[in-house]
Chain A
Amino acid sequence: MADVDLSDSFSGVADNLTVSTDEYTVFHTSAFDVSGRFTLSVPSITACTDPISVITPIRLAIPFDLISDDLLIDASPTITINPELSLITPNLGYDIGRGDLHPEFNCYAPSLLVKALPLVPDIKTVEFGAFKFSHAERENPDQITPETNERFARWGIPEPQIYTRKISIVAESNQATEYYQLQTLFGVRRSLSVYGYAFADAYISNLSELQRKPGLGRWVWHVEFIQHVFESKDRVMLDGWNVPTVITVSDEQKQPIVSDGYAERGISEPIGFSVSRSIEFIDYHGECTSQLENRVGKSFSVTINGVTSNKYRITNISSSAPKGGGLVKIFTVDLQRYQFNTNDSVKFGTVNLSNPTFPNAHDITPEYSVDMGVGFGSLNPIPNIVRRFAVECITTNHYEFEMMVGYIGTKQTLIINGKSYVLAFISLLSALQPRGGGNIWKYTIEFSQKSGVKPAVIKFDGVSLPNAVISSESIEILQTRTTMHSGAIVADLGAIPSKRFSVSCMSNSKSGYNSLYSKLGQKKTLVVDGETITKAYISDLQAARVIGDGADRLYSWDVSFEQETA
């Protein structure tokens, strides 16, 4: 029985009996209370006969006779009540954990009637996604294990925060089915809420067997959850497509492209690298296969954690699915690009050729018009030198190839890596397209340049012959040979030989030909490389031939001159 400490005596118990004094008669009596403090001692806690859970606290109910707004629990230093309350409403209880109830606590109360009743145990809320534990609590303090890289830590380099938290829960239920429901959540990640505090993306890492409390219709099990926390995650964008759920991004691997011949001689060669990376990610919805396949064969930019590199290509795609199927697919994509500190450049006329490479060495073929035999004795003959440049190009613009076709038959300036070769012409052109057509043209083009051949400077009556090449130069010796009766031959020779020239001309314009045509039948001065031939006339003019059907036509004609010596 509790002791009640009263600081003063009471005047009387309320009742409605009339009380008489010497002079007055009482015809009504009633009573009221004055709220104040009283001390209520709880001498001991006796074991309850009803079996109770070891993890659930005892709920203490304090019903009072009267509803009072000022029912107070004085949480003085001698009192520990879990949870501490300074004001409670009558007929509601508060939780006192085992070991927390102290012998005395002070109450402001209008009534001395206090009883403690075991009520429905309070529930500490633990939830795993939509799954709610009926009774559960933390079994041990959470274990938090940070993942650190010693190399960074040694130098005090701040790195992304990564840690693993293990949360141990002990659970009880009157229904064994609750345990089996929890079993179905293996492998899923859900938000774990423990006492109202949420741990995102947690998963079950350990689940004990189901145990039955002796003598009770109650089941107990232990479950561990793991939560990984990452301060930052990898972000990858392939050709403008955000790769979902990136698991890992490999380090960049650079392999230099080295030529033994140069390296052996210590020659600094153009530096080239093969750069490769792998990206591992998860596809939940089956959208990634088409995204990747559409980019096979293409050159695109890749942005990894904000750093962009261009000209990557997909070199490998692999995927794996969990056993038994499922929506999750883990993809691994290998990417590769080449990095060169220098690039080749080729320009022919006004066209910059796309992505040129030189599969062969430049080919130089001398052509000698003079026999350089030992016995000849000529010094420093000037041979014709034909240079050939073979270039392989890859372009996605087919107009570039068509423009090359249009240049056939013309002579343009060829610039290779800054070096100019004038009067070069296309000597070979071939192209290759992928199967099924496609927007890639791979073509091989050969340019040729003849050096050592210089067109002759020929003018006829001031009209320059374009790109004139003297095909023949001869002298006509006028002579009359008479055979005498004796058989002797008498030769009468002309005193002045007459010169003949045959010239081949080429031009993109027919105007030169037309000018010569207008001078038919005229005897004019012909100048050939500075040599003046007077009274020359056109003895033959072949019709101009048109070569090519491109934008620039090529006219070629032959003209012959003879000379009057009279």
Chain B
Amino acid sequence: MRFDVDSFDTSQWDLLVDSDSGGLKVFRCVNWDETPLHGGSVSEYEVDALFDTITADQNRNGYTDYRKVFFFASESDIIGKTYRVVLNAPNAIITRISLSMAIGTASDTMSDKPDDSSFGDSIQTDVSFLNYVPVWIKRTITDTSSDLVYYRNISVSLTVSK
């Protein structure tokens, strides 16, 4: 007996893309694993997936996690810009998930990261050519008593003002 279940692509149409971002790259911190030691200095790896899956338990009870990344200007100085983190999610869940950012230090970790009051929808900072700027990104999902529904590929984007 066999049965096959293929994944069903429910994504929206692809959006228009623009490659002009000043050569901004995003690097991981050296302690990338989601532990109390998360943070530290910059590593040599770019960020591939910023956040991991929210588990059913976290979905039910609510959850907050943090990621420390380093913005890097690979082409030129990026001065006077505003940075925002953007969430794309279905309406049914978008109100439960929030993202925010804060400027960190070169070596801070979970134990001495910026206070939650410092986190906001956007940050303003300068990224000098071939330099790193530490940035903490916070994700929060509120609890729910509703039936848990599975959502796939909820996207989070880092944007820079033009």
Contact = CB atoms under 8 A, between A and B. Distances in A.
Interface of A: 1-2, 4, 6-14, 16-21, 23-38, 40, 42-43, 45-48, 58, 66, 68-70, 72, 101, 108-118
A34 B59 contact: yes
Contact of B10 (A10, A17, A29, A111): A10
Contact of A32 (B1, B10, B26, B156): B156
Contacts of B58: 35
Interface in B147-162: 147-162
A28 B158 contact: yes
Given A28-B26, A32-B50, 13 more contacts: A2-B4, A8-B149, A14-B153, A26-B21, A29-B155, A33-B152, A34-B141, A34-B154, A58-B1, A70-B57, A110-B53, A110-B152, A115-B3
Interface residues of B, number: 64
B26 to A, nearest CB: 4
B151 A19 contact: no
Interface stretch (B30-38, B88-96, B100-108): B88-96
A68 B89 contact: no
A10 B90 contact: yes
Interface in B16-64: 16-22, 24-26, 47-59
Contact of B153 (A13, A47, A58, A114): A13
A114 B18 contact: no
Given A19-B18, A37-B148, A110-B150, A26 B51 contact: no
A8 B155 contact: no
A23 B59 contact: no
Interface string B60-90: 0000000000000000000000001010111
Given A10-B12, A24-B162, A33 B7 contact: no
B11 interface: yes
A35 B56 contact: yes
A565 B33 CA distance: 154
A72 B55 CA distance: 11
Q: Which of A1, A36, A46 has the most CB of B within 10 A?
A: A36
A29 B51 CA distance: 11
A40 B5 contact: yes
Contact of A23 (B53, B97, B161): B161
Contact of A108 (B25, B56, B86): B56
Question: Taking chain A's interface residues, is the majority helix, strand, or loop, or is none over half, making it mixed?
Answer: loop
A32 to B, nearest CB: 4
Interface in B125-162: 141, 147-162
Given A46-B1, A112-B8, A30 B155 contact: yes
Contacts of B17: 17-20
Contacts of B141: 34
B9 interface: yes
B1 to A, nearest CB: 5
Contact of B9 (A13, A25, A117): A13
Nearest to B4: A115
A441 to B, nearest CB: 91
14 contacts: A8-B151, A11-B89, A23-B162, A30-B47, A32-B51, A32-B156, A34-B154, A35-B53, A36-B148, A45-B1, A47-B1, A58-B1, A68-B53, A118-B2
Contacts of A72: 56
B6 interface: yes
A112 B56 contact: no
Interface of B: 1-12, 14-22, 24-26, 47-59, 84, 86, 88-94, 97, 141, 147-162
Contacts of B50: 28, 30, 32
A66 to B, nearest CB: 7
Contacts of A17: 14, 17
Contacts of B8: 4, 6, 112
A3 to B, nearest CB: 9
Contact of B157 (A1, A28, A43, A68): A28
A69 B59 CA distance: 13
Q: Which 9 A-B pairs have the closest CB atoms?
A: A20-B18, A13-B11, A36-B150, A24-B159, A2-B5, A11-B88, A27-B21, A114-B5, A36-B149
A34 B93 contact: yes
Contacts of A108: 56, 148, 150
Nearest to A115: B4
B162 A12 contact: no
A35 B54 contact: yes
A111 B53 CA distance: 11
B130 to A, nearest CB: 16
Contacts of A13: 9, 11, 14, 153
Nearest to B24: A27
Contact of B2 (A31, A43, A70, A116): A116
A25 B151 contact: no
A140 to B, nearest CB: 26
B51 A118 contact: no
A81 B155 CA distance: 36
Contact of B158 (A26, A48, A66): A26
A109 B150 CA distance: 8
A43 B22 CA distance: 52
